[in-house]
Amino acid sequence: MSLKRSPLYERHVDLGAKLADFGGWEMPIEYAASGGGVLKEHTAVRETVGVFDVSHLGKATVRGPGARAFVNACLSNDLGRIEPGKAQYTLCCDESGGVVDDLIAYLVSDDEVFLVPNAANTAEVVRRLTAAAPEGVAVTGEHERFGVLAVQGPRSSDVLGRLGLPTDQDYMAYADASFGGRPVRICRTGYTGEHGYELIPGWDDTVALWDAIVDAARELGGMPAALGARDTLRTEMGYPLHGQDLSLDISPLQARSGWAVGWKKDVFWGRDALTAEKAAGPARLLWGIEALDRGIPRAHMTMLAGDGAAIGEVTSGTFSPTRKVGIGLALIATDVGAGEGDEVAIDVRGRRRAVRVVKPPFVESHVR
């Protein structure tokens, strides 16, 4: 099956991007050939501003009388906690409490919710919602109707300000604006831990918006940034990535994403299983790990106790460009009694490397 391409594909090629498959989409990993690279792009986001094309993210609209109540009876978080004009991180679970996807829900009105799932899971989320939708509520996949740009970093509001776009939304609030006479939805959100925005223009309006944003970002010392840096940035924040730290086999409780579950709601997918797991206590928990020597944690490495017994598995790992040390997220069996500050180890290709158990983030958050 051929890979799908973002409306910015030609821009990525022009920037000399290294491209790879992200959930069926051919997307940039880094822009080393045009002066970037994972470390420089990462630093740009932490210190100035980076501009990401994340148009591979899914988009879907649930519309019709009672759309909000319908979505609220399916997805985990409580849409009753927010007002129209706000967005919310939420989970789509299956009946066993596994996570089909994590996504952002934009509450437009009681009769309209806009969803941004992960690229690889969009079709499944849309399928499940469609199958459950009551008469009169339509679920429409709009994957290739919109692009998505993320502008992230301490200078992100200056970039949007130069384009005359609104910047004073609260964290997780959005504004519907226009650029060049074309609509664009702008939400104070992101996946980097920095102050930032995600912009949702129409598919065909994405190139013009990208060009203007990249020009403004460069004038402020920023640069285009790609998905390699997005991964190191989110790992430094301890944000779970679906498919690694959160999955059909890793429940929200295990991944410490229980805050995104509306426990008081009468109904949502996976409620019974999750409520039972909460009562019993999860069998394993996601922790941060920080290398105490030169080892770099990588997904699927085995976690080892002092006596060499296997106690869990690394789910994400990388070198932290900000902290200059190996960091990761790991599921550790609860009965081990591991806690913050404990020294355990990882199996790095047959060698034992010491790591410290920590609570993420690894770098201070600036999202608010």
Partner 1 sequence: MSDIPDELKYTADHEWARVGGTDGKQTVRVGITDYAQQALGDVVYVSLPEVGTQLAQGAPFGEVESTKSVSDLYAPVAGTVAARNDALDQQPELINSDPYGAGWIVEIELAEGADLSVLIDAATYGTLAV
Binding residues (CB under 8 A) for partner 1: these are 18, 29-30, 32, 37-39, 228, 231-232, 294, 296, 298, 318-319, 321, 326, 349
The single residue listed with the structure tokens 């501009």 is: 51
Q: Which is nearer to partner 1, 37 or 97 (CB)?
A: 37
Find the shortest distance in angstroms from Cβ 350 to partner 1.
Answer: 11
Q: Which of 149, 150, 162, 148 is nearest to 220 (CA)?
A: 162
Q: Which is nearer to partner 1, 90 or 320 (CB)?
A: 320
Q: Are 121 and 94 in contact (CB under 8 A)?
A: no
Q: Are 177 and 186 in contact (CB under 8 A)?
A: yes
The single residue listed with the structure tokens 């990249």 is: 214
Q: Are 98 and 255 in contact (CB under 8 A)?
A: no
3-state SS, residue 328: strand
Distance in angstroms (rounded) separating the CA atoms of residues 280 and 276:
6
Find the shortest distance in angstroms from Cβ 296 to partner 1.
Answer: 5
Q: Which is nearer to partner 1, 251 or 320 (CB)?
A: 320
- Per-residue CA distances from 306 to 202, 229, 354 (Å): 54, 33, 10
3-state helix, strand, coil in the chain (%, to 5): 25, 35, 40
Q: Which is nearer to partner 1, 29 or 79 (CB)?
A: 29
Find the shortest distance in angstroms from Cβ 100 to partner 1.
Answer: 26
Record the tokens describing residue 310, joined without a space: 């296997």
Find the shortest distance in angstroms from Cβ 74 to partner 1.
Answer: 35
Find the shortest distance in angstroms from Cβ 54 to partner 1.
Answer: 18
Q: Which is nearer to partner 1, 40 or 182 (CB)?
A: 40
Find the shortest distance in angstroms from Cβ 250 to partner 1.
Answer: 21
Record the tokens describing residue 25, joined without a space: 């989409």
Q: Which is nearer to partner 1, 205 or 236 (CB)?
A: 236
Find the shortest distance in angstroms from Cβ 33 to partner 1.
Answer: 8
Could you report how far apart the first and last alpha carbons of the chain are, in Å? 41
Distance in angstroms (rounded) separating the CA atoms of residues 75 and 69:
10
Q: Are 99 and 93 in contact (CB under 8 A)?
A: yes
H helix or E strand, kind and range, residue 275:
helix 271-280
Find the shortest distance in angstroms from Cβ 15 to partner 1.
Answer: 15
Q: Which is nearer to partner 1, 33 or 208 (CB)?
A: 33
Q: Which of 171, 154, 153, 155 is nearest to 163 (CA)?
A: 155
Q: Which is nearer to partner 1, 47 or 124 (CB)?
A: 47
Q: Which is nearer to partner 1, 124 or 313 (CB)?
A: 313
What single letter denotes the amino acid at residue 24? Answer: G
Find the shortest distance in angstroms from Cβ 318 to partner 1.
Answer: 5
The single residue listed with the structure tokens 């199996």 is: 347
Q: Which of 249, 237, 247 is nearest to 322 (CA)?
A: 237
